[in-house]
Amino acid sequence: MKASILRSVRSAVSRSSSSNHLLTRTFATESVPERKVAVLGAAGGIGQPLALLMKLNPLVSKLALYDIGATPGVAADVGHVNTRSEVTGYMGEEQLGKALEGSDVVIIPAGVPRKPGMTRDDLFNINAGIVKSLCTAIAKYCPNALVNMISNPVNSTVPIAAEVFKKAGTYDEKKLFGVTTLDVVRAKTFYAGKANVPVAEVNVPVVGGHAGITILPLFSQATPKANLTDDTIVALTKRTQDGGTEVVEAKAGKGSATLSMAYAGALFADACLKGLNGVPDVVECSFVQSTVTELPFFASKVKLGKNGVESVLDLGPLSDFEKEGLEKLMPELKASIEKGIQFANAN
């Protein structure tokens, strides 16, 4: 009797372990392939919480944390979290190549943040050079990676990256993204508050660019629908456009949005990974090469696929207020794009 129980337990264990093994294999090779993500600027205000959030993402198998300093500590700390990915810290330019090699997605929050009274464009002089040198290394060590540009001014750093990649002969417009997800995150939060709807159900496209009036939330397309007054829409639009400044002022000299940005950056990187893995219908707003307007780069809804951008979606129907906003933002966005292109070609 005992022997027969033992036999059936053994056989159940062996059945279950072989099916587990099969499951693990299917899981590893089909549904969840190996994916390396590199974070450049990983020891910073955004970089650290972003590193943690990427460590929590089961789609990541390798996480490379690069900065000019302090990454060994961040990597040791984040690396103790018991999730799938293997974490390595890289410090200093001589280790940048190793950090980048084999990356599927590179997230760039490297650069200085604003202080009160500054515009994002005031960061150009420092951050343009940082982005240029990091993109030169990306072209060399992981030219096929999807690049998620967080460093400001995004309206200029994305065109800089494009020019660097063009010069290196590696430019693929499907693989370069300005991260504008925080604008969407803010628009959703602020809309849910005013419309009194559950925030988790809210969708609001945000188009244009990522600075002041170039940020254009399309509340006329927001769902769930709500009957908000024109004044409320004007106020929501302004608050979304000034969201970054609201945080800069509240932090009073201690930097800009880091935690909400890490959340937004992790959301966008997750969408990129899902697209790469063949998950259908992944759509996020992003500042990409575009023919949606006459400008060469523009943020709008983008469908993500196995090669990055699968398609850039149209703006859809705009209210008169949004049409006005679109017209007003074009000159500033055009100038910021041109400034980036000129910098990349002059330096």
Nearest approach in angstroms of CB 299 to ligand NAI is 11
3-state DSSP call for residue 145?
A: coil
**Which pair of tokens denotes residue 192?**
């849910």
On whether 193 is known to bind a ligand per the annotation, the reply is no
- For ligand OAA, which residue of 105, 106, 247, 276 counts as binding (CB under 6 A)? 247
On whether 244 is known to bind a ligand per the annotation, the reply is no
- For ligand OAA, which residue of 114, 132, 188, 239 counts as binding (CB under 6 A)? 114
Q: Please give the DSSP secondary-structure letter assigned to residue 238.
A: H
Q: Which long-range contacts (CB under 8 A, 24 or more apart) does 182-185 make?
A: 182/243, 182/244, 182/257, 182/260, 182/261, 182/264, 182/265, 183/210, 183/215, 183/217, 183/240, 183/243, 183/285, 183/299, 184/264, 184/284, 184/285, 185/260, 185/263, 185/264, 185/267
On whether 15 is known to bind a ligand per the annotation, the reply is no
Give the angle subtended at the CA of 296 by the CAs of 290 and 300, to the nearest 5°: 35
Nearest-CB residue for ligand NAI: 44
- For ligand OAA, which residue of 55, 120, 132, 334 counts as binding (CB under 6 A)? 120
Does the protein bind ligand OAA through residue 182 (CB under 6 A)? yes
- For ligand OAA, which residue of 178, 208, 244, 275 counts as binding (CB under 6 A)? 244
Give 226's contacts (C-beta < 8 A, 6+ positions apart). 191, 194, 195, 196, 197
- For ligand OAA, which residue of 152, 157, 181, 300 counts as binding (CB under 6 A)? 152
Nearest residue to 54 via CA among 39, 40, 69:
39
On whether 233 is known to bind a ligand per the annotation, the reply is no
Nearest residue to 188 via CA among 145, 215, 223, 234:
223
**Which pair of tokens denotes residue 289?**
């090469």
Catalytic pick among 210, 239, 334, 339: 210
Q: Which is nearer to ligand OAA, 139 or 248 (CB)?
A: 248
**Alpha-carbon gap, residue 76 to 195, rounded angstroms:** 44
Per-residue contact track with ligand NAI, 182 to 221, x per CB under 6 A? Answer: x---------------------------x-----------
On whether 118 is known to bind a ligand per the annotation, the reply is no
What single letter denotes the amino acid at residue 54? M
Please list the residues that pair with 177 across neighbouring strands: 148
Nearest-CB residue for ligand OAA: 244
248 binds, options ligand OAA, ligand NAI, none, Cβ within 5 to 8 A by partner type: ligand OAA
Q: Are 45 and 255 in contact, with CB atoms under 8 Å apart?
A: yes
Determine whether 80 is an active site residue. Answer: no
How many residues contact ligand OAA, by CB under 6 A?
12
**Alpha-carbon gap, residue 323 to 114, rounded angstroms:** 30
Q: Which is nearer to ligand OAA, 100 or 257 (CB)?
A: 257
Does the protein bind ligand NAI through residue 179 (CB under 6 A)? yes
On whether 151 is known to bind a ligand per the annotation, the reply is yes
Residues 204-233 that bind ligand OAA (CB under 6 A): none
- Residue 119 CB neighbour total at 10 angstroms: 14
Q: Are 72 and 91 in contact, with CB atoms under 8 Å apart?
A: yes
Residues 258-277 that bind ligand NAI (CB under 6 A): 258, 261
Q: Which residues are catalytic?
A: 210
Instruction: Note the residues at the interface with ligand OAA (CB under 6 A).
Output: 113-114, 120, 152, 182, 243-245, 247-248, 256-257
Q: Which residues are annotated as a binding site for substrate?
A: 114, 120, 152, 186
Instruction: Note the residues at the interface with ligand NAI (CB under 6 A).
Output: 40-41, 43-47, 67-69, 109-114, 123, 127, 130, 134, 150-152, 154, 179, 182, 210, 255-258, 261
